Structures are given as structure tokens and as C-alpha cells.
Structure 1
Amino acid sequence: MSKTVLITGASSGLGRQTAKFFHAKGWNVVATMRGPDRETELNQLDRTIVTRLDVQDPASIDSAVEAALDRFGALDVLINNAGYGAYGPLEATPIDSIRRQFEVNVLGLLATTRAVLPTFRTNRRGTIVNISSVGGRLAFPLGSLYHGTKFAVEGISEALQYELSAIGARVKVVEPGGMRTEFAGRSFELNNDATMSEYQPLAQSLFDLLGPMLEQGSTPEAIAEIVYAAAIDSSDRLCFEAGPDAVSMLAQRRATDDDAFYAGMKQQFGLA
């Protein structure tokens, strides 16, 4: 029998390509998104259902999990992909934006994970794949919110692996670097205030770095292959670095002591 995967944030980018990749591998796919009525491609695939799931709406999470079980009888993998990045000076960021960043990237991930655990526990199997980021292991300026959420995903996953082993399930973390997706347009929020002139050179330095990083990053198709590899991995391996830039950056971070790394970052962004 085919296995079944539920993917959040499947309307575009990595989520969409991951849905297509799993389908090509013969899986049943539950592609979830906030606006399924606008989907015109994934809903044409066999063994695939497209349904609404907004990670900020617990009822929609429960409905999506129920739809998966009703249609396919079981759920084998959850891929927590939905998320976005909020950047900018903390001083310029409205409290509502702060709340939303953590509600989507952290609380939404926890709520969706919690919703699938009863069936994983009953069946004594299942895998959670949390899409983190290289930004869950190191931080750039003006990213206190985004990096705060991705660092949280890393900690949640590290702790969760122990309790999931008690029910026969696993958790994996995928850490992409730059990706050539619509992230900058669809999933990127900038909070800035030009009157706070002190922050503006730093903001420009950040964009000068992030622009090429995204343009030269991995394709979502390439990262989807790593997501799939994580989902089917039966070892105790937790983290999967995704993309040559992620591998390079994280290797450099591990090889550098904190003081030297922070000093280098400050110099790179004109703060030294």
C-alpha cells in the first residue's frame, strides 16, 4: 500500500515541489494550504487531495488530518513547511507582527504536530519533518523574529525526538540555505521605519547579502529531494543540511568559536 504524506504550505515554493516529488514517488499526498480553492495543478493529480489548513486555525488543522485519514486510512509523514520570515529592527516592528511570526512558525508547527500524534501513537509509527533553515543555527542582523522562530524549531525538534521514540515515531529537521522560490515576495515581511536612520545602513547591508543568496540558492526541486530523504530515513539522524550554501555556512560556523564568528559577522555588516 502507498504511504501518505501531509504537507503544510503546499501552495508554492518548497511545499508545492515537495508535494509533486512525493507524488512522483508513488505516495498519497495531502497538499494543504490556506486557499485551496485557488489551486489548479495539484488537485489534478491522482492519489492527491488538496484541502484547507491554516496553521493559525486549529479547526482547519483537525479537518485536514481527518480528511487524510478518511481518504487514505493512515498518515505516515507530516511535513511542517508552512512559514514565513519577518525581518527588520525590533524597535520598528509592531507587536501584532511579532505575535504572528511566532504563531505561524512555532505555535502553528506545534499545533499541527500535536494533531497527528494520536494516529502515530496508535499505529506505532510516523515521521515529522520540520522545515527549519540554516537560520535556525546561525543568525543575521535584523532577523530577531525569524531566527528566533527557527532556533525554536530546532530546540523543539531536538527535544521531541526523545518522546517520539517512546511511540515508535521519529522527527527530522531540514535546514535549507538560500532557495530560488517566491519566498522574498510571498513569504517575506519587512518591518522598517526610515526615520530610524541608525538602522538603515544595516538594512541595506542585509539586503545586499540576502539578494544574491536567494538568487544563487538551490532550486526547490533539489531541496524537495532532501525533504524526501529525511522523511524515509530510518536512522536516528536528526538534522539534514540542505543545499551547498547551507553545508558550507554551517561547517564554517562549527569550525569558528563564538567570539571570532560574531566579530566576523559584525565586520561583514559594517558594525566593527
Structure 2
Amino acid sequence: MTPLAHARYCDEILAQTDLLRDLVRDADLAARVPTCPDWNLRELVVHVGGAHRWAGEIVRTRAAAEIPDDAVPGSGGPASGDAAALDAWLAEGAAATVAALREAGPDTEVWTWAWERRTAFWARRMAHETAVHRADAAAAVGRDFEVAPDLAADTITEWLEIVAFAQAGGDPEAAELRGGGRSLHLHATDAADAEWLIEFGEDGFTWRHAHAKATVALRGPLTGLMLAFNRRRKPDEGGLEVLGDRSLLDFWLERSSFG
């Protein structure tokens, strides 16, 4: 499996934002978000829209260094507390960010916090950021959540890349994801070739796409697998099944949360 095309990520930022807007447009914005319990719905939307604007400003200005949040115009949300203003603010920010990403293309060099210093990183990151937080909003309003299989699979792959990057950078939680002879298998039952094998070594972990017997396996529908791997669903809910040593799966989930 390879990352999706730059144009597809741009399309998904807009599509996932529109779906998020549909979820919250008539909802109680003061409702708590069960999967992000420190936030209510309004705070969740402001987080997503602020991330869009921050990434868009980095791309638009071809930033070579990190831009502080308070230097990004409008990143704190609309001045008005009105729901319509929030909806318009979210749509406007996503559109501006996608316009900047499309104008720059995938290969323009910009600052990122990660392993890839190209605009392609921000297109992919914002697509997944928006999709996962749409799942948070769906949980808050009691609605079902589905996402295209290739996007769901790439969300899992990107998260593995992020955790590996964090471990290489010395993150204390990710640093504990080691210990030889153990492995974790993710197996989507409704999508071809959507499998990941995480192997724990003495110096850290590695992962690859493979079907193999492991210390523990998490299997089930791909969307549910994506939600559980992002800690948005319990591993034994929504048609998911845990086979083997559940404590190893919990070990991974606890140490790949980054707060």
C-alpha cells in the first residue's frame, strides 16, 4: 500500500470537513466529546479549523521554520459564538488550506515537525486529522462513522509512521514499545491486503504489511480497525475481535497515545 495522491488528500480535506460540518451544524456545541473528553463540540471544531489554518499558513508562506499558533490569522476561531459563524469559519479555513496545497503541489519544501519536509506531508496529515476528528464528532452526536477503505488504511499506516518517528526521536512513551519476540497483527476482514504486522525488537519496533501469526491480533472491519488503532473505539467493539495476548495490544495503545 502506498500513500494516496496529493490531489486525493486535498479532496479529502474538503470532503471530510463538509461531513464534519454536517454533523455539528445543528448539534449542541456545548456537548462533551466522549473520545476527547477535555473538549466540547465547539472546541473540537476550533481545533480542526485551527489546524487547517496553521498548516495552510506554513504552505502558503513556504515557511522554513515553525509558525506559532498566535501568528496564524483567525486560528482561534470566529469572533462570534454563533453556530453559523463557526460553520462558515471552518469551511473557509479548509478551502484556503486546500487552495494553498494545490497551488504548491506535493513537492514544495516547507517546514514540518516530521520526517518529510514537503507539502505532501501536510496534505496527508490534514486529511487524516480531519477524518479522525470527524469520528470524534460522530461519537459526540450519536451518529455512525464510515470512511473510504483506502483512506482508513492509510490512516493506520500514517499513524505507524508517526509512532516510529516519535520512537526514533526519543519520545518516552514510544521508547517503551520494544521487547523481542512479541508481535501485533492488524487484519481488516473486509478489505484486500489491509494487514499490518508490528514486531517488537530489543531496540524498538518495526512494521510491515504482512499476514502472519502474532502474539496478539486485532481483526475486523477496516473502519473499526482504524478507529480502535486511533483509540476512538474499544478493541472489542463494533465487530472487532482480539485474538491472543490482549495485554500487548493495550501496551501498544497506551504508549502510542502521546497524551
Same fold, TM-score > 0.5, yes or no: no
Point out the structure with the larger helix share: 1
Which has the higher relative contact order, 1 or 2, with Cα contacts under 8 A spaced 6 or more apart?
1
TM-score tier by shorter-chain length is under 0.3
TM-score by structure 2 length?
A: 0.26
TM-score by structure 1 length?
A: 0.25
